[in-house]
Amino acid sequence: MVCPVTLAALREMYETLQLALGVAKLPQIVFVSIDPERDTLQRLNEYISAFHPRFIGARADRQETESLMRQLRVVSMKMQMEDDAGRYSFDHSSDIFVFNPAGQLQAYLTYPHQAKQLVKDYQSILTVSADLT
């Protein structure tokens, strides 16, 4: 569950890794919405693709979203805007979860996210994964 600042760092990381590793070893970046009532799949993917065309968005219903958030210990708080127009935003944790191809959580990257560090982290994850196989 990612904010624009983190998505920008992920885009820079992705582009750096693409040059270093080629497309085959790139991670699939998936943004999971924490606001399924507002984020339609179309709206979500328009937002995500503005950062990189290979990034994808995912959403579920409120119950499934809250279940996933509990499992991953993601916190969020809905914040009403002061203009009384019914607008709101979410304050939320900005961690990155790295899953392996089997769907198992492999790494948990905490905020703040900087592209150079994300590149190093991902390369370390690849090295550890190769050592385990």
Query: Binding site for Cu cation: residue ranges?
Result: 3, 92
H helical segments located in 22-132: 41-49, 62-72, 115-132
Query: Binding site: residue ranges?
Result: 3, 92
Instruction: Burial-class residue 78 by CB neighbours within 10 Å (0-12, 13-18, 19+).
Output: exposed
Tokens of 48: 């995500």
* Nearest-10 Cα torsion for 123, 126, 127, 129: 160
